[in-house]
Amino acid sequence: MSDLLRGVDMAKVSITTKEVSVWCIITIASIPLIMTLGNSMLIPVLPVFEEEVGISPFQSSMIITSYSVSAILLIPIAGYLSDRYGRKMIIIPGLLFTLAGGLVAGIASILTENPYGWIIIGRILQGIGASGALPIILPLVGDLYKDDAQRASTCLGIVETSNTFGKVLSPIIGAVFAVILWYLPFFSIAAFSLISLIAVMIFIKVPKKNDQPPKFKEFLKETKEIFKVEGKWLYTIFMIGAYSMLILFGILFYLSDILEKQYEIDGIPKGVLLAFPLIVLCFASYFTGKKIKDDLKLMKIIILGALGVLTISVVTVGYTSDALGLLLVASSVNGLAIGALLPTLDAMITENISQETRGTITSFYSSSRFIGVAAGPPIISLMMPIDINIAYILAGVIGGLLLIVAWQWINPDQT
């Protein structure tokens, strides 16, 4: 956490204004941190769930997927509601749902003999909460820095760094909690959500809109017009976001499984090894967010370069599985590329959409990322008994196609 706070301190001079306090920035950053902990923390614990609850690897992957699917379905609705009624009015109920979901899954794990169904229900509640909290952060940052694209991109870099910092912490924290009690991660999610909820209520001061929000028909018409005019580059950003998260969570699920079953590494050592590619991702996100500012041409260069690296590096993951050192290097290179992509995609989509529809458009982008999160673990769990290399080769082919699409459809002169 100290690295993240130092990042906030560094950003204090460049992004703090009369309207935005350092505590507001820290609170904003806490939401993706907590939401990431709430999902990624469970990945190293999935093999423990399989043993304690008596479920298959595919069923354990559904603990991740159920969270993401429920979020996917509701994120666009939350985005529209945040445009109409305000960001804070949507974030607070979202955190409450996340808190409730953690309690449902945790209490059921203690009181019921077969808690799997209740765990899934709790995860669905958490996904509903995530749909009303995490995706609203991007338009909120855009609102706070609506007249300063450079400061917005810096803040988005901090937000994405917080997100990835959560991914770094999550396998270690999850492993520590699982050693104590296998269901403790569920209760920790509720506790973290409560802390963030209190901070949001105290520190986030959202600028008031002078204009009345458009009626639904007008809003829908404007949204359709945006996709009609800007659709090519927006759809490209959506696809790259989904692809990045599919690769990331697919690799994390694969690493978690292979470390325990092939290398017989579990507990805290396993959590530390899982954190390696995520540490690289975290630093890449932070420094990319600081570098891009409002330079659209640089954003395109970073997107193309990172996609090129990811296209090649993802193919190597399966082939290095018999050498742990090489496997961690290959996974870390993937983390580097994804870390460069995420804040760049955030900035490009946030800084080029008007405030009136920003929540809705960024919610579609967030939904696309959750599609990748939902798809990664089950795809890998199904492919591992067949041939994992086929999955990663196909991922490389998809990356190559996205690289071509990005080259053609992301045009900085037109966004």
Q: Are 140 and 30 in contact (CB under 8 A)?
A: no
Other residues' Cβ atoms within 10 Å of the Cβ of residue 88: 15
Identity of the amino acid at 218: E
Q: How many CA atoms lie within 13 A of 72 on its CB side?
A: 16
pLDDT band, very low/low/confident/very high, at 25 (cuts 50, 70, 90): confident
The CATH class given to the 17-203+213-409 domain equals mainly alpha
How would residue 3 be classed by pLDDT, with cut points 50, 70 and 90? very low
Give the model's confidence band at 42: pLDDT under 50 very low, under 70 low, under 90 confident, else very high.
confident
More confident residue, 263 or 64: 263
Least trusted range by pLDDT, from 81-85, 193-197, 257-261: 81-85
pLDDT per residue as tens digits for the range 339-390: 999 989 988 887 777 666 666 787 788 889 888 988 888 899 888 888 999 9
Averaged pLDDT for residues 301-325 = 95
Which of the pair, 340 or 7, is modelled with greater confidence? Answer: 340
Give the residue from 45, 171, 24 showing the smallest Cα distance to 119.
45
Coil/strand/helix, residue 56:
coil
- Cα–Cα dist 233/337, whole Å: 20
What pLDDT, on a 0 to 100 scale, did the predictor assign at position 413? 63
Q: Are 189 and 196 contacting, i.e. CB atoms less than 8 angstroms apart?
A: no
Determine phi and psi for 140, rounding to 5 degrees. Answer: -65, -45
Average of per-residue pLDDT across 311-339: 94
**pLDDT, average across residues 278-288:** 86
1 pLDDT tier (thresholds 50, 70, 90): very low
State residue 123's pLDDT score.
93
Q: What is the pLDDT of residue 254?
A: 92
Q: What is the pLDDT of residue 208?
A: 64
pLDDT at 415 over 90: no
Cα 208 from Cα 195, distance rounded (Å)? 25
* Residues 108-149: tens digit of each pLDDT: 999 998 999 999 999 999 989 888 887 778 778 877 777 666
- Confidence class for position 210, pLDDT limits 50, 70, 90: low
- Arithmetic mean of pLDDT, 327-345: 94
pLDDT greater than 70 at residue 106: yes
CA separation (Å) from 30 to 134, 194, 212, 281? 10, 11, 30, 18
